[in-house]
Amino acid sequence: MWARFGTLDARISQWAVATWAKLRTKQGLTLSALALAILAFIVIDYATLPPPLPAYAHIRAAWHPSEAWLYDRNGALIDSARVDFTARRLGWTPLDQISPVTRDTIVGVEDKRFFSHGGVDWLALAGVARDKARGERARGASTLSMQVAGFLAPDLAAPGKRHVWDKLRQMRAAWSLESGWSKDQILEAYLNLAGFRGEAQGIGAAALGLFGKTPDALARDDAVLLAALLPDPQADPAAVARRACAVSHEAECARFAGEAASMLGPARSLALDPGLAPHLSDRLLTKPGLKVTTTLDRRIQTLAIVALKRQLQGLGGARARDGAAIVVDNATGDVLAYVGGIGGASTAASVDGANAYRQAGSTLKPFLYAQAIERGYLTPASILDDSPVQLDTASGLYVPQNYDRGFKGPVSARTALAGSLNVPAVRTLLLVGVDPFRDRLWDSGYRGLVEDGAYYGYSLALGSAEVTLLEQANAYRSLAQGGRWSPLRLTLDAPREAPRAVTTPQAAWLVADMMADPNARVATFGLDSALRLPFWAAVKTGTSKAMRDNWCIGFTQKYTVAVWVGNLEGDSMRAVSGASGAAPVWRDIMLALNATERGNPPSHPAGVEAKAISFANAIEQPRTEYFLTGTGQTRIAFAPPESRRPRITNPVSGSVYAIDPDIPPDRQRLSVDVSGAAIAHRLWLDKTDLGAADSTPQIIAAPGIHRLRLIDVAGHVVDQVLFTIR
């Protein structure tokens, strides 16, 4: 019996051991499964871990538009410029500045349960699964929150990111976003970060570029078209129209075809970008998001553009293609209009004509005459000789000519300046000196004159130096301000600098009075030119060498207006002068500026006296003339020949003459001219006596270097010249 119990006990023991072994095996499997489950969870969690997303405040602070904006002095937008070319973005648009119909339409199309889900639309996901099970084309289930997460972390929405793991990462990123952002913040970010067409990013750029509107002005059809663009921003107009029709749920939606074509057309006008100062915006708008308030006045800027455009259209592109205009407030130095060009027939429309260096022509003469008057070398009534002159220079003879190739003989300095005569200006430069005049121009703000006087020579009197229109305007403004110069201001935050004296108030006033005298310019410009206005204005024109530049600069008590007309590529104009090219623009602007308020002539400063004068031999009509106190005269006469120093005027020293082999030698003679009191003087050519100096002898000389001397009765050499015959 015990044996029987022993056998039973052994069997029980075996069963217990086997059972324990079995239990031990099941527990191992359970623990292993648990470990594997934990490991799998860790792997899945790591694989679907989204990148950290920035806070809403950080996104707002880091937003930089691609544009910068230019405003006039009253806060009106006058231009904008693209500065950042990575994307086309405007300023961040707050949600309350987007029309409600646009918000509702885009939410209804892109994520209709946006305000009720927590970042993931499970019903939409179920619909996708159902459609795939049926073999139907599945619609996207990405919520606005998931798309914003993709905008903030581009890796989430990179091309090819369509796998389950990628979707899980986007879903987790959306949950993370929803936990830290409000629904309004997410929607606002979506509307600002979404790409709509081409480079246009955000509702602001889309509204302006596609409709010419601000986001708060978008209507229902606009919103429908924008919503239709979002799935495929580069779709063709027909595809956009079909989707817009589906979005709108309308039976009759043919109008969307025309609207889509208009919206996506290449010639879409940006109605909210006036484009009134493109050259100045290129100069001032250097950083994305910059908002610059200029000194410009939109009304004056517009009238200057209209005046210049009208004139260039009238001239035609075959005569002159480009122009620029500047208007300055004399008292403040604020630039009220800055027109660097108007495009039109221009072949260099991007070049800023207002800030480009061009040859000055006769526009520098007022500063030369002011310097001569200031030093006491001239008065407005002084007689200058407008007759042929030849000047010996290091590079050869310099023979200045007047614009009309004619000469007027003895003229007053007033007539010479107002009539823009060249030879009297060169004679005045001989009095002043080239280097002092060059220094005076530098002091007057002409910063292009970087060489010394010898570089420019006598041609500096006629404007051989290069200047900008902006420099011209400010230099003439200094005359209007009594000879005081200070920098111009282009922005309202630019500092004001104390003016410094460039010339005396008396000289500045006398020169302005000479330029404002319509009678003094009659001989050159006639009685009824574009320079004559129904109110006081001092004005000067200029035409550069080979008809490349026309200038007209002048001022009233309140404004200085400077106009340039020419071809920016440097080719000559055809049949255009300063009076017919730039002057009409100057006149139109001046008339518009002074339409309601016409200034009076400035009263002369202390140190200027008026005298009634007359001219000997009726050189000019009697008049009231102004002088520096103590220099006035009542009778003005041209100096008689006997009062001048005898000198040889032809040939000029340094001249080179060539014998023509086709003309008989005895027919090739060189005339000798002598001026001044040369009675009883004789001329000697080398060692040959040519006879009396007043007999106008003619020279026949062999090739070589020759010396011509003028000898007085005592045998002294009064004058001599060297010339060469080849």
Segment 178-220, tens digit of pLDDT: 988 999 999 999 999 998 877 788 998 888 888 888 899 999 9
Q: What is the pLDDT of residue 253?
A: 76
Of 245-254, 523-532, 624-633, the one with minimum mean pLDDT is 245-254
Q: What are phi and psi of 288, to 5 degrees?
A: -60, 140
**In the predicted structure, residue 7 carries a pLDDT above the cut 70:** no
Q: What is the pLDDT of residue 208?
A: 84
- β 67-71/291-293 pair status: parallel
CA–CA gap between residue 350 and residue 431 (Å, rounded): 42
pLDDT classification of 291: cutoffs 50, 70, 90: very high
Q: What is the pLDDT of residue 266?
A: 53
pLDDT digits (tens, 9 = 90+) for 140-191: 678 898 889 888 887 776 655 566 767 788 888 888 889 889 999 999 999 9
Nearest CA to 433 out of 451, 412, 417, 454 is that of 454
pLDDT digits (tens, 9 = 90+) for 596-617: 888 789 999 999 999 999 999 8
**In the predicted structure, residue 349 carries a pLDDT above the cut 50:** yes
Of 415-429, 622-636, 647-661, the one with minimum mean pLDDT is 647-661
Of 82-86, 129-133, 223-227, the one with minimum mean pLDDT is 129-133
**In the predicted structure, residue 348 carries a pLDDT above the cut 80:** yes
CATH architecture of 56-68+79-263: Orthogonal Bundle (1.10)
Burial of 5 (0-12, 13-18, 19+ CB in 10 A): exposed
Q: What is the pLDDT of residue 697?
A: 86
pLDDT digits (tens, 9 = 90+) for 521-578: 998 888 888 999 999 999 999 999 889 999 999 999 999 999 999 999 999 998 887 6
CA–CA gap between residue 620 and residue 386 (Å, rounded): 14
Q: What is the pLDDT of residue 339?
A: 98
- Residues in CB range of 573: below 8 A, 6 or more apart: 319, 320, 547, 548, 550, 565, 566, 567, 581
What helix, strand, coil percent values describe the chain, rounded to 5?
40, 20, 40
% of the chain beyond a pLDDT of 70: 90
- Whole-Å CA distances, 87 to 155, 199, 235, 276, 571: 18, 5, 19, 24, 39
- β 466-467/358-359 pair status: antiparallel
**What length does the chain have?**
726
Q: Within 13 A of 315's CA, how many CA atoms are on the CB side?
A: 33
CATH fold of the domain at 335-636: Beta-lactamase (3.40.710)
CATH fold of the domain at 641-725: Immunoglobulin-like (2.60.40)
Structure tokens at 472: 């011209």
pLDDT classification of 270: cutoffs 50, 70, 90: very low
The listed range with the strongest mean pLDDT (5-19, 187-201, 357-371) is 357-371
Mean pLDDT computed over 654-658: 85
Q: How does the average pLDDT of the chain come out, rounded?
A: 87
Q: What is the pLDDT of residue 641?
A: 67
pTM for this predicted structure? 0.79
Mean pLDDT computed over 653-675: 86
Q: What is the pLDDT of residue 12?
A: 47
More confident residue, 24 or 607: 607
Mean pLDDT computed over 84-105: 89
The H or E element containing residue 711 is strand 704-711
Residue spans of alpha helices (H) in 348-412 = 365-374
User: 201 has which bridge partners?
Assistant: 195
pLDDT classification of 269: cutoffs 50, 70, 90: very low
Query: Which amino acid is residue 514, in one-letter code?
Result: M
Q: What are phi and psi of 385, to 5 degrees?
A: -90, 110
pLDDT classification of 446: cutoffs 50, 70, 90: very high
